[in-house]
């Protein structure tokens, strides 16, 4: 699913209008000389004479800061909304859209709130945290917009990410089951068309030494079977070494390897797709905590 599509247009318009409005009011209050004479800010939007010591401390600065803090809180609630899908508060897609666009709106709001200054080490820390969170978020947004398309092209059968270990375990179990079966056949000699017992041993040995280690590996791409071309070579040789009767089993093993390779590709892509959250989510909560503290300290201490 592409994150950016036509349904985002109303949000885009809203954010652009909100940014222009905030900038207009900001300039009207703090730098009226920069405002074109044809767009004066009405007196109702001009704040009263304020005994501020910084732009953030003025009533307008506080309004901008409060809106931003509210957006931070709302953005943090997205995770909770995902955990509680039954709540009748709009579907997750809408929440995600609001999360993306409202947090993008905080960029102009925070800049105007700060008056384009970093301020103290405390507020500088906040700004750095905010910048990391926003950059990681925008990076994630780009990936979320590009990677699903790439996954669709390179993954014929996408598996639910959380189910990948389970699927891999099932592949291992299937391989072990086939190995046990082949060993049993080799011992009992009950094969219908048993021309050469060593073929079963060859297959069982292949499964034990090559296939199962590959299917169990954490990083499959380091194994020979993890490379599609080499795996094809291996299975072609294997097929040549066994009779017709065992070739379906070899094909079956080849499909398991293909499936394992697909899961590897998917894991890799999923790591790209969700890896940024490793930075974004923890720092977002830290940012929220520090912002609340910043609001408390500046409102009630200084």
Footprint of another protein (CB under 8 A): 30, 32-33, 47-54, 57-59, 62-63, 119-123, 152-153, 155-163, 165-167, 170, 271, 274-275, 277-278, 281-283, 285-286, 289-290, 293, 297, 299-302
Residue 116 or 240 having the CB closest to another protein: 116
Residue 54 or 145 having the CB closest to another protein: 54
Residue 57 or 108 having the CB closest to another protein: 57
Min separation Cβ 152 and another protein, Å: 8
Residue 163 or 209 having the CB closest to another protein: 163
Min separation Cβ 102 and another protein, Å: 21
Min separation Cβ 182 and another protein, Å: 23
The pair phi, psi for residue 42, each rounded to 5°, is -65, 155
Residue 101 or 139 having the CB closest to another protein: 139
Min separation Cβ 6 and another protein, Å: 22
Min separation Cβ 121 and another protein, Å: 5
Burial class (CB in 10 A: 0-12, 13-18, 19+), 207: buried
């Amino acid at each position: 699913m592409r994150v950016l599509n036509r349904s985002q247009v109303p949000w885009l318009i809203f954010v652009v209008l909100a940014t222009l409005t905030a900038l207009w009011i900001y300039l009207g209050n703090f730098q009226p000389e920069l405002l074109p004479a044809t767009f004066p800010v009405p007196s109702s939007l001009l704040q009263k004479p304020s005994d501020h010591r910084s732009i953030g401390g003025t009533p307008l600065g506080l309004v901008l800061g409060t809106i931003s803090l509210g957006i931070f809180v709302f953005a943090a609630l997205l995770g909770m909304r995902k955990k509680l899908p039954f709540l009748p508060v709009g579907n997750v897609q809408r929440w995600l859209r609001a999360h993306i666009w409202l947090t993008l709106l905080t960029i102009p709001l925070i800049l105007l709130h700060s008056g384009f200054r970093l301020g103290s080490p405390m507020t500088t820390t906040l700004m750095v945290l905010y910048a990391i969170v926003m950059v990681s978020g925008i990076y994630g947004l780009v990936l979320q917009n590009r990677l699903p398309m790439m996954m669709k092209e390179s993954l014929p059968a996408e598996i639910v990410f959380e189910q990948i270990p389970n699927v891999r375990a099932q592949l291992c179990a299937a391989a072990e089951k086939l190995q046990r079966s082949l060993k049993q056949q080799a011992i009992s000699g009950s094969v219908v068309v048993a021309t050469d017992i060593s073929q079963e041993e060859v297959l069982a040995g292949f499964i034990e030494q090559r296939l199962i280690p590959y299917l169990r590996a954490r990083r499959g791409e380091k194994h020979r079977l993890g490379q599609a071309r080499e795996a094809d070579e291996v299975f072609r040789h294997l097929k040549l070494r066994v009779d017709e009767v065992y070739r379906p089993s070899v094909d079956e093993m080849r499909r398991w390897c293909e499936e394992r390779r697909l899961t590897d590709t998917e894991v890799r892509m999923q790591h790209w797709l969700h890896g940024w959250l490793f930075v974004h989510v923890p720092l977002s909560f830290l940012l929220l905590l520090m912002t609340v503290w910043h609001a408390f300290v500046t409102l009630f201490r200084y």
